[in-house]
Homo-oligomer: A and B are copies of this chain.
Amino acid sequence: MTLPETPQTSPDREAAAAELDLDPKDWVALRAQAHRMLDDMLTHLQTIGEQPIWQAMPHEALERLEEPLPADPQGLERAYADYLRLIQPYTVFNKHPRFWGWVIGTGTVDGMLAGMLSAGLNLNAGGHNLGGTYAELRALEWCKQLFGFPPSASAVLVTGGSVANLVALTVARDAALGTAAEQGLQASGIRLAFYGSTETHNSVPKSLRMIGLGAAGWRPIRVDVDFRLDLQALTDQITRDRVEGIRPACVVANAGTVNTGAIDDLVGLVEICKRERLWLHVDGAFGAIAALSPSLRDLVKGMEQADSLAFDLHKWLHIPYDAGCVLVRDADAHRAPFLQSGSYLTRMDQGPAAMPVLFSDYAPELSRSFRGLKVWMAFKTHGTAIYGRLAEQNVAQARYLAGLITAEPELELLAPVPLNIVCFRYRGHGAAGPDRLNELNRRLLIRIQTEGIAVPSHTMLDGQFAIRVAITNHRSRRADFKALVEAVLLLGRAAETE
């Protein structure tokens, strides 16, 4: 059969010359520009440790960014020049060897290249019968395997731990509602309760608010001296709720709290949830990665028996933002809240619409970026074993730092160091009262950050302002932590006499 020619060779192509597109008019010039951009980025990454980890945006740069709507084209060269001047120098931050703020991954050079490929392919990774879909499905199988979930479990990539928690808690809610789930909370008349420690990440109460359970559905349970969920307090609360006609639905366990890296008694929680028939969700945003290390694995024992697990790939696995994942043991339960029909989405038996999966059956998103590519490439490039060794290295660095702190009488460790987070403060010679100490450490932290020495972050522990060093950084070396301690001592002494 003779089929119509492609438009490239069609005479209509010329007649349509007036039609516009967004492609380069001069491919030679574009290629040269693109290679300059790549070269600049490689140099940026190769020299990252020599650049200021943080510097304030100069007034001029802030003003320049207040640009009115660019209705007319400026061209790639000018846009890129503005990027180089106004953005790049002020974003070294989490790529620097001395970044230990919040819990943020470092990224990699090959991750940058995977991001280039992904943006170039521009795949809407919804599940079409395309190479990208099969690669993403494979990456998900690898994730299940890494965390000891069975092949029958479901998995989906989302933007990060917050959405991973949101997905898991939605599934847990609907599993508890049973057949009443479809008509919603208002129609059900059922009152559910979700449990977790007071150290639980804010995305959990936030998710509960989103899914309609609100503060009335959340039971923050007290922690012990190690910031771990108190199991007795939990079971007492479950009993009280049952007496009041409330249906206990789900326990959220922490594998690595954001404040101190505390890991709840997961084995104990598995047992309680089995006995009480509750959904066990583990928030393992970063801590779950301990499962990849033979020497740390026992810390998160029990996690593999959870009903659902949320973890990030952009934190301790250093895959570029964004990439989080949620695993659910019961794939049918996972799909229940998200399955929606649409005649424009029905599958065909052949062609691109013969979809091996519809990822929107597992998460809020329908259109999706091709997150699977960077995961697939990173695992293949580096091998998954190295992530366990890097986690061990960071945990060893945390212990090294804790050791340096304990050895200095002017410093004070404010929490146990079970994993990769160290909370401490400068206490000087013990003369300052609590408010003065909090203020002193607040000022001290700002100086450490603004002078470009390092970027730890902060938190409050029992009313005490803590300098918080969360180590998810493959570029850090022991010397970096030693330098931090020296700077804190120098600046702390200076601040004390101010």
Contact = CB atoms under 8 A, between A and B. Distances in A.
Interface in A112-170: 112-126, 128-132, 134-135, 138, 141-142, 145-146, 159-163, 166, 170
Given A360-B162, A483-B4, A74 B383 contact: yes
A269 to B, nearest CB: 22
Identical chains bound together, number: 2
Contacts of A458: 344, 346, 348, 353
B187 A130 contact: no
Contact of A344 (B57, B76, B259): B259
A416 interface: no
A214 interface: yes
B115 A118 contact: yes
B97 A7 contact: yes
A236 to B, nearest CB: 22
A13 interface: yes
A191 B479 CA distance: 60
Contacts of A436: none
Contacts of A109: 23-24, 30, 34
B364 A206 contact: yes
Given A79-B377, A377-B83, A390-B22, A42 B34 contact: yes
Interface stretch (A274-282, A299-307, A367-375, A406-414): A367-375
A66 B135 CA distance: 9
A293 interface: no
Given A131-B87, A483-B10, A212 B213 contact: yes
Given A170-B210, A201-B342, A442 B82 contact: no
A70 B27 CA distance: 38
Interface residues of A, number: 211
A497 interface: no
Given A108-B23, A482-B12, A215 B182 contact: yes
Given A112-B116, A367-B160, A87 B216 contact: no
Contacts of A258: 342, 344
Given A19-B477, A187-B216, 8 more contacts: A35-B35, A93-B128, A106-B122, A124-B314, A163-B364, A166-B364, A184-B215, A322-B367
18 contacts: A3-B487, A7-B483, A20-B386, A20-B474, A34-B109, A54-B130, A65-B138, A71-B385, A73-B382, A86-B134, A111-B119, A112-B116, A162-B364, A173-B212, A186-B213, A212-B212, A321-B370, A350-B450
